[in-house]
Structure 1
Amino acid sequence: MKCREGCGACCIAPSITSAMPLMPEGKPAGVRCLHLTPANLCDLFGKPERPAVCGGFKADPEVCGADNEEAIRILGWWERVTAA
């Protein structure tokens, strides 16, 4: 599956524990990443300061669903069931 350009669900729903510019403590689940542009694109894409977890995320129908809203729901669910 190709990433849906402008979705941004993976930059909102999950937590990101890695430090990054503007977010030295990472990002809590459900909070919009400060590097997500108004067009829902990552402004750290391709830059060395982009967290490895972000670069390693691969779009897949099982986690991204059929649309952006479903992606938020699924990724949010995964975040809740895997939080310890």
Structure 2
Amino acid sequence: MNCRLGCGACCIAPSITTPIPGMPNGKPAGVRCVQLNDGNLCKLFGQPERPEVCGQFIATADVCGANSQEALWLISSMEQATSS
């Protein structure tokens, strides 16, 4: 499965605990990454500043669902289930 261009769910729903340019302490779950542009595309994609965890994300049907709204719900649910 390929990422849905403009989805952005993986840049909104999960927490990221490593620094992101513009977010030195990472980002909490449910907060939009400052590196998403208005079209929900990552401004750091392919850049060395992009956090390693972001580069490790792989789009799969069980994570991304059938559309962007389902992806946001699925990833948010996983984040809730695994947060301490």
Task: Please list, as runs of the form range in 1=range in 2, the aligned pairs for 1:1-84 lying within 5 A after superposition.
Answer: 1-84=1-84
CA offset digits 1:52-74 (Å, max 9, x no partner):
00000000000000000000000
Q: Which 4+ runs in 1 deviate beyond 2 A?
A: none
Percent of residue pairs identical:
60
Aligned length: 84
Structure-1 separation of matches of 2:77 and 2:20: 24
Aligned-partner Cα distance in 1 for 2:20–2:72: 22
Q: What TM-score do you get using the length of structure 1 for normalisation?
A: 0.98
Normalised TM-score (structure 2):
0.98
Q: AA paired with 1:50? A: R
| Alpha-carbon separation, structure 2, partners of 1:32 and 1:21 | 13
Tell me the secondary structure at the aligned position of residue 63 of structure 2: helix
Looking at structure 1, the residues matched to 36 and 14 of structure 2 have their Cα atoms a distance apart, in angstroms, of 13
Alpha-carbon distance in structure 2 between the residues aligned to 1:80 and 1:63: 14
RMSD over aligned CA atoms reads 0.4
Whole-angstrom CA distance in 2 between matches of 1:20 and 1:62: 26
Question: Unpaired runs of 5+ in structure 1?
Answer: none
Inter-partner Cα distance in structure 2 for 1:34 and 1:68: 19
* 1:42 Cα deviation after fit: 0.1
